[in-house]
Amino acid sequence: MLSVGKAWKVSIYLSEGDTYHGASAYSSILDFLFFRGVSGATALKGIAGFGSGHQLHTSSTVDLSSHLPLKIEFVETQEKIDTLMGKLQEMAGNGLIEVQETSIAKAAQPSGPAAPSHVRIEGKARMMRIYIGESDQWQGKPLYEALVTAMRANDLAGVTVYRGILGYGAHRRVHREKPFHLSSDASIMLSVIDLETKLKEFLPVVEQMVGEGLVVLSDVEIIKYAHRAADQDAEEKE
């Protein structure tokens, strides 16, 4: 939590249409900042402006609306910013990042409870499995969706969500899949494999988000871990 005194303000300038790994760049950055414990961040949308290409964009030009300027601002300590800057530079792409010294006159009070880029995995690793209910919520959205977002923001290697067709949990109540998937009480399992250090760093986030459920860790050995290059994905979509 920030306290009164010296701090630093970070401003990230983007275009509305900028993307990061296929998702909105500004949304991805906000997710990253949120799940890395930044005290607060705000995205501001411009109504007119131009960038390095020196082309003017305004909100009245419909076909250029995706190029309107966006700015993300947050205030943090120098130590915290140092741990985030490498990833922010990657996510901002061609955008501009500005850091200014500032001073906190009054620190905000929290209203509620509150990683380096991924490397290739080979050999020994760990598997985390999270068992929750389909109806479980976190901040107004399905818990399993929120967990996937948090894992992506924390650079975990990947996650798969499984929907159970039959099972029971701590309350001994049987959950079964109903015709046409009308049930909202099915069992959900999230499975993610990564390095032990990465999963242990993520555990506090899991403990914060999963109020009732089961989380297990087990040893695994990676036989093959491969993914297509980003430019190959782009070529296939064209």
Determine the pLDDT at residue 225.
66
Determine the pLDDT at residue 63.
45
pLDDT digits (tens, 9 = 90+) for 13-48: 998 889 998 889 999 999 999 989 898 899 988 766
- pTM over 0.85? The answer is no
Beta bridge partners of 219: 126
pLDDT digits (tens, 9 = 90+) for 47-78: 665 555 555 555 454 444 556 788 999 999 99
Give the burial class of 115: count Cβ atoms within 10 A of its Cβ; 0-12 exposed, 13-18 middle, 19 or more buried. middle
**Is the confidence at residue 183, as pLDDT, over 70?**
no
**Is the confidence at residue 180, as pLDDT, over 50?**
no
Determine the pLDDT at residue 49.
55
Considering the chain, what is the average pLDDT of its residues? 79
**Is the confidence at residue 6, as pLDDT, over 70?**
yes
Q: Which domains does the chain have, with CATH numbers?
A: 5-104 (3.30.70.120), 123-222 (3.30.70.120)
Most confident of 35-44, 75-84, 160-169: 75-84
User: What contacts 24+ positions apart, CB below 8 Å, involve 3-7?
Assistant: 3/104, 3/107, 4/104, 4/105, 4/106, 4/107, 5/103, 5/104, 6/101, 6/102, 6/103, 6/104, 7/75, 7/76, 7/77, 7/78, 7/101, 7/102, 7/103, 7/104
**Is the confidence at residue 182, as pLDDT, over 60?**
no
